Chains A and B, each alone.
Chain A
Amino acid sequence: MIENRPFLAFLTHLVLIIGVVIVVFPVYLAFVASTHGSGDFMRGLVPLLPGPHLLENYGFMLNEGISTAGAPPLSIMLLNSLVMAISIAVGKIAISILSAYAIVFFKFPFRLLAFWIIFITLMLPVEVRIIPTFKVVADLGMLNSYPGLIIPLIASATATFLFRQFFLTVPDELMEAARVDGAGPMKFFRDILLPLSRTNIAALFVILFIYGWVQYLWPLLVTTDSRYYTVVMGIKRLAATADAEPQWNFVMAAVILAMLPPVLVVILMQRLFVKGLVETEK
């Protein structure tokens, strides 16, 4: 349906542009704020154009950090976040693709029950089971450690469910042909199922990386040692200084830096991500 109605085109574009401005403006403000000197916000006027202190602010945050707020240099927090997000994404994908493989391609007693038990955990987000989980992690001595940050968040019903749905669409004959061709279960998984799931894995990686990156409550609970702070929880500490006025220019520099990795992941994996949605190789 192609129509040429100038007014309609104008109106739709206007709505879109307003929408974009509403979304982008706070991000722009954060960026602008991160480029000014520390005193510029005390005057009550928020500048709308970037200031001259860009490199200075970012360099300071990355290398030194605001030690008075009890936060380590941003580079450490960014690294922690990266380790956590990548481990969670990789771990979730590895575990859920294997469990989905077991549930779909093998016949064992209580197979359906196993699936439903996994599925039911969808109803129990981290926040609901946080106290018992904390107790377990604490008793295992995993507070203030990467495993403590990562392992409790790895079990994933969502990814298992998505892989299960994908595996169900793989024709049985493909597995049978592989069996006739002499491929055992592991070989079938490695040579055929894994390459076929490539685009699904990419799409899930993007989603799960962001999920891991934005974790706030859990890192807040299990880390008391600043060496294991992640960036998202660190920002909160930067802003919540006890007696002094928050140093917004530094906080905003941290915000912008915290935002970059997820954006990069989305942009870099977009091609594969979209490909996964558009074409099916079956």
Chain B
Amino acid sequence: MASIDISGVKKVYAGAVTAIHSLDLAIPDGELVVLVGPSGCGKSTLLRMIAGLEAITEGTISIDGTVVNTKEPAERDIAMVFQNYALYPHMTVRGNLEYGLKNRGTPRAEIDRRVTEAARILEIEPFLDRRPRQLSGGQRQRVAMGRAIVRQPKAFLFDEPLSNLDAKLRGQMRIEIKRLQRNLATTSVYVTHDQLEAMTLADRLVVMNGGRIEQVGAPLALYERPETLFVAGFIGSPPMNLIDIDDLRDKGPLALPDGTDLVGIRPDTIQLSPPNGPHLMLEATVELYEPIGGESHLHMRLDGSGQLIVAAVPARTAVTEGGRATLYVSMTDLHPFNRETGQRTD
């Protein structure tokens, strides 16, 4: 168990492509940090630099107070779970679990104890003598996790470990990873592009874009108060509606800071009946009615500007496709942004 400190880390590939621009991040002991962002944002590169699989161009990464820049992955005492699991195909499950321990010269009795323990936790005891190719995707995923936990490393690094699983299994494994991490209280860095996975797993969420950190914080804090336009658009499903301020001026008593030219409205803060307190009132035509189950998504076109807007409303709502709807948004639910700087203005 250990803290991870990343300070001023930069990654420049040959050919002067900068993958990561001077990045700082401190991960305290026992925390599960999720790096999330679109593909090519540098999240995997950052993880691989922590693992030692990628050289650090500038800056330092320390694990447990020791700078590890020049250390081999094995010397960093971290364990990594790969997207395609990277299990050794010619070894049995037991062989896979043992391999790292054997290489470190762990005594036989200790190896057996840890493998048995990990197999019990992950419920893979029945497969210990099988080969990876005889296992299903979910079972392979467990073995990959097992290989990480038998090592009892200072930190777990997860590189999109669930993206090869089907949706249902992904949901199950997500919960298991969270439970496991809680029980073991091992510092973890988890990379994903799936914002649902990111929101549900993270103690702290790091949203990355273009090699830079956009915002760091608790998942709900990021959802409720995105600091940049990118975070506003990336976190939340369906994504936040962004409406030009000029289209809203005559819709209600706007009182937004100077420099605001774009206003964000979360689909789930749009109401169909007037709230108490100051609010906006918008008229729209319903184009598509999308029932999800617990709620329904209304895809509408605003009168005037003709902009598309999405609202998440209770499941059974008395609107029909092609019909009219009046939308209300409380003033406190508005997110003011400046288009130029991409920053929040309040």
A interface residue numbers (CB < 8 A to B)? 171, 173-174, 176-183, 187, 191-192, 195-196, 198, 281-282
Q: How far apart sit A256 and B86, CA to CA, in the bound complex (Å)?
A: 49
Docked-complex contact A180 and B78, CB < 8 angstroms:
yes
Which listed residue (A173, A182, A281) contacts B103, Cβ 8 A? A182
A173-B83, A191-B99, A281-B133 as given contacts; A179 in contact with B88, CB under 8 Å: no
Which residues of A sit under 8 angstroms from B319, Cβ to Cβ? none
Contact at A192–B88, with CB atoms within 8 Å?
yes
Please pick, from B51, B80, B84, B104, the residue contacting A182 in the complex, using a CB distance under 8 A.
Answer: B104
CB A195 to nearest CB in B, in angstroms, measures: 4
- B82 near A181 with CB under 8 A, answer no
Pick the residue among A173, A178, A187, A281 that contacts B90 (CB under 8 A).
A281
| Interface hub of A173, A174, A177, A192 (most chain B Cβ within 10 A) | A177
Q: Is B72 an interface position by the 8 A CB rule? A: yes
Say whether A196 contacts B103, CB under 8 Å: no
Beyond A173-B86, A282-B89, whether A179 also contacts B99 by CB under 8 A is no
Is B89's CB under 8 angstroms from A176's CB? no
Contacts of B104 in A (CB 8 A): 182
Classify the interface of chain A: helix, strand, loop or mixed: helix
| Residues of chain A contacted by B72 (CB below 8 angstroms) | 179
Cβ of A183: which chain B residues have Cβ within 8 Å of it?
74, 99, 103
A192 to chain B, nearest CB (A): 6
Report how far A178 CA is from B99 CA in the complex, Å: 9
Which interface residue of B51, B53, B79, B104 has the most chain A CB atoms within 10 A? B53
A180–B79 touching, CB < 8 Å: yes
Partner of A180, one of B74, B88, B90, B133: B74
Q: How far is the CA of A181 from the CA of B97 in the complex (A)?
A: 10
Q: Report A154 CB to chain B, min CB distance, Å.
A: 28
Cα distance, A177 to B72, chains bound together (Å): 12
Query: Does B73 count as interface, using CB distance less than 8 angstroms?
Result: yes
Q: List 11 A-B contacts (CB under 8 A).
A: A174-B88, A177-B80, A179-B72, A179-B73, A180-B80, A180-B100, A181-B99, A196-B89, A196-B90, A281-B89, A281-B90
A168 to B100, CA, bound (A): 24
Inter-chain contact B88/A176, CB cutoff 8 Å: no
What CA separation (Å) do A177 and B74 show in the bound complex?
10
Across-interface contacts of B87 in A (CB, < 8 A): 177
Which residue of B74, B84, B90, B133 contacts A181 across the interface (Cβ within 8 Å)?
Answer: B74
Task: Contacts A173-B83, A176-B80, A176-B86 given; indicate if A182 touches B133 (C-beta within 8 A).
Answer: no
* Chain B residues whose CB sits within 8 angstroms of the CB of A281 once the complex forms: 89-90, 131, 133
Give complex CA distance A111, B33 in Å: 39
CB–CB B51/A180 < 8 A: yes
Chain A residues with CB below 8 A from B133, complex form: 281
Q: How far is the CA of A187 from the CA of B84 in the complex (A)?
A: 22
Instruction: Report the separation of the CA atoms of residues A264 and B88 in the bound assembly, to the nearest whole angstrom.
Output: 33
A259 → chain B closest CB, angstroms: 35
Given A176-B53, A180-B74, A180-B100, A171 contacting B88 (CB threshold 8 A): no
Q: A181-B99, A182-B100, A196-B89 are in contact. Are A171 and B84 (CB under 8 A)?
A: yes
Q: A174-B88, A281-B89, A281-B133 are contacts. A181–B78 as well, Cβ < 8 Å?
A: no
Chain B hits for A191, CB < 8 A: 88, 99
Complex Cα distance, B213 from A119, in Å, reads 46
CB distance from A37 to the nearest CB of B (A): 56
The answer on a CB contact under 8 Å between B82 and A173 is yes
Report, nearest first, the 5 A-B pairs whose CB atoms are least far apart.
A182-B74, A181-B100, A173-B86, A182-B103, A177-B86
> How many Å from the CB of A202 to the closest CB on chain B?
14
Instruction: Please indicate the chain A residues that have their CB under 8 angstroms from the CB of B52 in the complex.
Output: 179
Distance, CA A89 to CA B45, complexed state (A): 43
The answer for the CA separation of A243 and B82 in the assembled complex, in Å, is 75
Q: Give the distance in Å from the alpha carbon of A176 to the alpha carbon of B157 in the complex.
A: 13
**Docked complex Cα distance between A191 and B103 (Å):** 11
A188 vs B61: C-alpha distance when bound (angstroms): 26
CB distance from B102 to the nearest CB of A (A): 9
Which residues of chain A have C-beta atoms less than 8 A from B147's C-beta? 177, 181
In the complex, A171→B84 CA distance in Å?
9
- Contact A177 B103, CB 8 Å, known A182-B74, A195-B90: no
Please indicate the chain B residues that have their CB under 8 angstroms from the CB of A198 in the complex: 90
Closest to B48 in A: A176
Nearest chain B residue, comparing its CB with the CB of A177: B86
- Kindly state the separation between the CA atoms of A182 and B104 in the bound complex, as whole angstroms: 7
CA distance A177 to B52 in the complex (A): 11
